[in-house]
Amino acid sequence: MLGLMQDQPLLISSLIEFAERHHGDGEIVSRRVEGDIHRYSWADVARRSRQVANALDSENLLFSDRVATLAWNGYRHLELYYGVSGSGRVLHTINPRLHPEQIAWIANHAEDQILCFDLSFLPLVQAVHAKCATVKKWIALCDADKLPADSGIPGLVSYEAWIGGQSTDYAWPSFDENSASSMCYTSGTTGNPKAALYSHRSTILHAYAAALPDVMGLSARDSVLPVVPMFHVNAWGIPYSAALTGAKVVFPGPALDGKSVYELIEAEKVTYAAGVPTVWQMLLTHMKPAGLRFSTLKRTVIGGSACPPAMIHAFQQDYGVEVLHAWGMTEMSPLGTLCTLKNKHLEMSAEAQDAIRLKQGRAIFGVDMKIVDSDGKELPWDGKAYGDLLVKGPWIVKEYFKAEGGDPLVPDAQGRGWFPTGDVATIDADGFLQITDRSKDVIKSGGEWISSIDIENIAVAHPAIAMAACIGVFHPKWDERPVVAVVKRPGAEVTREELIKFYEGKTAKWQIPDDVIFVEAIPIGATGKILKTKLREQLKGYKLPGL
């Protein structure tokens, strides 16, 4: 017997219709590429995304055709989120920080038909457009009078001219909720990048889940600043969850430096901000020497890489901002776990609570997780046993676009497929996950594993260290030993010996790095994560002291 509830597909267009009707006057504020501040409302997003849909129809784009963006976080990008997916096409957000060759490869692989770009990426588009065989229209996200005259890009039009003449009426089509809605290529440190292809259903379920109080906890009372880019896993779903909740959204555009982000937080009374640790580091570095304080910011979700304890301490204790440490990945839309305390933790000391916040948190309903040993045997949730982390759920990929890389899932005894995250983790009895490493970054010393994240966290807790990356280096007896590459804060001094001494008492003796390498900079990838492969290349030929 089937239930007798209405059969209504979960579609992205319903989010923008809801936002228009229920909080149409909710504000959307954007710092534009031009540098000025633009403001309008959810009702305006809805109206203009219908114009986008009409413009796509007039280009004769078919259902599921791909429309790409090379764009910062801003209102026009948001209109494309809704106009493209809502009308049944697939939004392909491209990471502009990738190498131009890789961007061309991705655009060809996705078979993008239209590519919309912010003017700051004009040189990039000039470099790649001739190689993008499937793109038949290039659109600059700007006013008609800002369109560059001699761009060299055939048929280039401005976004405003493109949608300007279109009707603001559009009947959003209804279709199978499992239809593709958007796609994002993984950073792909090895081999070609692979794309996660999200569906309307997965996006809506993720948006519901993300809005829950113990997840992102967004509400109509929030002013939300997604510093996480809309070109990487849909800015952690905030453009969708904000429409669902009616939060005010503040887009930072291209200005991600500490000063600009701080000023935007204050000017727009931001209560909630989301970003990766590298961006928050820039913000804190700007604020501390100037003695600046937050007047409205209450919570920040930090993820994408491990949030160091020093950062948790600074936000929580120095600025009174609650840190929500989150873990996820492109293949997971991206949210997997989020760290919020349970009732029984509320009586604990601030230090004990911060120690919990260091973990990546508890699984969101919808995400099943387990850790397994090298034979695939499930490991206990005791906070000590660590193993490969596998996940399954309705917003996690079952395969990559065009079946690239084959079937990624690992079947269990019941034949259910689990996605191997490539992360190594522990899970404690309360269900808190802690990532110890990427499986390929784990350091194996004398048969025991050393967490490179732990080693890095200790280094950046030293006042003279701005950034740290730990890698394993060959050792004839122990297989590998940890060494830590560090960048000093401007004007700060610390010696190799002082830093090694700093580890004493903070980690087991055998886990203390054998060496400290002072470097000018640590290579960072397109999504703000440390590129250990590149660091290993840079340190090729390096030998441990005494060998």
Give yes or no: 331 in active site. yes
Q: Is 423 in the site for ligand AMP (CB under 6 A)?
A: yes
Instruction: Name the pairing type of β-strands 322-328 and 90-93.
Output: unpaired
Which residue number, 186 or 445, has a Cβ lying nearer to ligand AMP?
186
Catalytic residue among 160, 331, 456, 480: 331
CA nearest 89: which of 220, 223, 179?
179
Is 68:41 a contact under the CB 8 Å cutoff? no
Per-residue binding letters, 139-178, with ligand AMP (x by CB under 6 A): ----------------------------------------
Local structure of residue 378 (DSSP, 8 states): B
Give yes or no: 186 in active site. yes
CB of residue 256 vs ligand AMP: minimum separation in angstroms?
17
Q: Is 451 in the site for ligand AMP (CB under 6 A)?
A: no
Name the strands in the sheet holding 66-70, side by side, starting at the edge strand that comes first in the sequence. Answer: 157-158, 137-140, 112-117, 66-70, 90-93, 180-185, 195-199
Q: Is 452 in the site for ligand AMP (CB under 6 A)?
A: no
Residues 357-386 that bind ligand AMP (CB under 6 A): 360
Give yes or no: 327 in active site. no
Q: Is 393 in the site for ligand AMP (CB under 6 A)?
A: no
Q: Helical H runs in 73-170?
A: 75-86, 100-110, 122-128, 159-164
Which range binds ligand AMP by CB under 6 A, 32-40, 61-69, 320-328, 531-539?
320-328
Max intra-chain CA distance, the chain? 74
Which range binds ligand AMP by CB under 6 A, 1-9, 56-64, 260-268, 417-425?
417-425
> In whole angstroms, how far apart are CA 220 and each of 14, 236, 242, 244, 247?
18, 18, 8, 9, 4
**Residue 16, H or E segment:** helix 12-23
Q: Is 193 in the site for ligand AMP (CB under 6 A)?
A: no
Per-residue binding letters, 469-508, with ligand AMP (x by CB under 6 A): ----------------------------------------
Cis peptide before 476 (omega within 30 of 0): no
Q: Is 182 in the site for ligand AMP (CB under 6 A)?
A: no
Pick one of 166, 245, 305, 426: the residue that binds ligand AMP (CB under 6 A).
305
Backbone angles phi, psi at 357, to 5 degrees: -65, -20
Q: Is 419 in the site for ligand AMP (CB under 6 A)?
A: no
CA atoms within a 13 Å half-sphere pointing along the CA-CB vector of 16: 28
Per-residue binding letters, 219-248, with ligand AMP (x by CB under 6 A): --------------x---------------
Catalytic residue among 93, 186, 330, 337: 186
Task: Tokens for 227, please give them.
Answer: 């510093």
Pick one of 32, 50, 325, 359: the residue that binds ligand AMP (CB under 6 A).
325
Give yes or no: 105 in active site. no
Q: Which residues contact 535 (CB under 8 A, 6 or more apart)?
A: 469, 471, 485, 522, 523
**DSSP assignment of 197-212:** EEEHHHHHHHHHHHHS
Q: What number of chain residues touch ligand AMP (CB under 6 A)?
A: 21
CB of residue 324 vs ligand AMP: minimum separation in angstroms?
10
**DSSP assignment of 506-522:** TB-GGGS-SEEEE-S--
Which residue number, 182 or 421, has a Cβ lying nearer to ligand AMP?
421
Pick one of 186, 202, 241, 245: the residue that binds ligand AMP (CB under 6 A).
186
Residues serving a catalytic function are 186, 331, 444, 449
The footprint of ligand AMP (CB under 6 A) covers 186-187, 233, 303-306, 325-330, 334, 360, 421-423, 435, 438, 527
